[in-house]
A and B are shown apart, each in its own frame.
Chain A
Amino acid sequence: MNAAVRQSLLRSALAVIGFLAIWEVAGRTVFIPAVLPAPSVILGEAWSRAASGLLGVDVAMSASRIIVGFLAGSLLGAGLGLLFGAVEPVRRAFEPIVQFFRFIPPIAWLTPVLIWFGIGEMGKWVLITYTTTFMVLLNTLAGFAEPQRDRMRAARVFGAGPWRAFWHVRLPATVPWILAGMRIGMGNSFQTLIVAEMLASNEGLGHLILNSRIQLSTERMFVGILGIAVLGIAADLGFRALTRRLFSRHRLGW
Chain B
Amino acid sequence: MSLIRFAGVDFHYGPAGPSASAILKGFDLEIARGEFYVLLGPSGCGKTTALNLLAGFERPNAGTLIMDGRPIGAPGMDRVVIFQGDDSLYPWLTAQENVEFPLRMTGISAGERRRRAKLWLSRVGLANHGQKFPHQLSGGMKQRIQIARALVCDAPVLLMDEPFGALDAQTRTILQDELVAICSGSGATVLFITHDIAEAIILADRIGVMRAGPGSAIKDEFALDLPRPRNRGSVEFAAAYDRIQRVLGEEVRKVVSREAAA
Contacts of B74 in A (CB 8 A): 156
Encoded as 1 (CB less than 8 Å from any B CB) or 0, chain A from 226 to 254 comes to 00000000000000000000000111000
- CB-CB under 8 A for A158 and B87, given A153-B75, A153-B81, A172-B92: no
A150 within 8 A of B: yes
Contact A159 B77 (CB under 8 A): yes
Cβ contact within 8 Å between B105 and A150: no
- If the complex has contacts A149-B87, A249-B133, are A158 and B101 also in contact, measured as CB distance less than 8 A? yes
What is the bound-complex CA distance between A158 and B56, given in angstroms? 12
Given known contacts A150-B83, A150-B85, A153-B83, A158 and B153 CB-to-CB distance under 8 angstroms: yes
Q: Chain B 36-63, CB within 8 Å of chain A: the 1/0 string?
A: 0000000000000000000111000000
**Cβ–Cβ contact A157 & B77, under 8 A:** yes
- In the complex, which of the residues A155, A158, A159, A168 has the most CB atoms of chain B within 10 Å of its own CB atom? A158
With a cutoff of 8 Å between Cβ atoms, the chain B residues found around residue A173 in the complex are 92
Query: How many angstroms between the C-alpha atoms of A155 and B101 in the bound complex?
Result: 8
- Specify which of A154, A168, A251 is in contact with B81 (CB 8 Å cutoff): A154
Question: In whole angstroms, what is the CA distance A153 to B82 when docked?
Answer: 11
Residues of chain B in range 90-105 having any CB-CB distance to chain A below 8 Å? 90-93, 101-102, 104-105
In angstroms, how far is the closest chain A Cβ from the Cβ of B115? 18
Any chain B CB within 8 A of the CB of A67?
no
User: Contacting A157 at CB < 8 Å: which of B80, B92, B133?
Assistant: B80
The answer on a CB contact under 8 Å between B149 and A158 is yes
Query: Chain A residues with Cβ under 8 A from B81's Cβ?
Result: 153-154, 157
How many angstroms between the C-alpha atoms of A169 and B90 in the bound complex? 8
Asked whether, in the complex, the Cβ of B88 is within 8 Å of the Cβ of A153, the reply is yes
- For B76, what are the chain A residues with a Cβ–Cβ distance below 8 Å? 156-157, 159
Interface assignment of B135: CB less than 8 Å from any CB of chain A: yes
* Alpha-carbon distance between A249 and B89 when the two chains are bound, in angstroms: 14
**A153, A157, A251: the one within 8 Å of B135 (CB):** A251
Give the secondary structure class of B's interface. loop
B77: A residues at CB distance < 8 A: 157-159
Nearest to B87 among chain A residues (CB) is A150
Determine the residue in chain B with the shortest Cβ distance to A149.
B87
Interface code A166-197, partner B: CB below 8 Å = 1, 0 otherwise?
Answer: 00110011010000000000000000000000
Interface SS, A side: helix
B98 closest partner in A (C-beta): A154
Q: Does B106 contact A (CB under 8 A)?
A: yes
CA distance A154 to B91 in the complex (A): 13
Which residues of A have CB within 8 Å of B153?
Answer: 158
Contact yes or no, A251 B91, CB < 8 A: yes
Identify which of A157, A249, A250 gathers the most chain B CB atoms within 10 Å of its CB.
Answer: A157
Q: Does any Cβ of B come within 8 Å of A151's Cβ?
A: yes
Interface centre among B91, B149, B153 (most CB of A within 10 A): B91
Whether B88 contacts A151 by the Cβ 8 Å rule is yes
State the CA gap A184–B83 with chains docked (Å): 36
Docked CA distance A83–B91 (Å)? 23
Q: Does A102 contact B (CB under 8 A)?
A: no
Inter-subunit contact B83/A158 (CB<8 Å): no
Residues of B within 8 A of A (CB): 55-57, 74-77, 79-81, 83, 85, 87-93, 101-102, 104-106, 133, 135, 149, 153
* 10 CB-based A-B contacts, threshold 8 Å: A149-B87, A150-B88, A153-B55, A153-B57, A153-B75, A153-B83, A154-B83, A157-B80, A168-B90, A173-B92
Query: 4 closest A-B pairs (Cβ-Cβ)?
Result: A159-B105, A158-B102, A150-B88, A154-B88
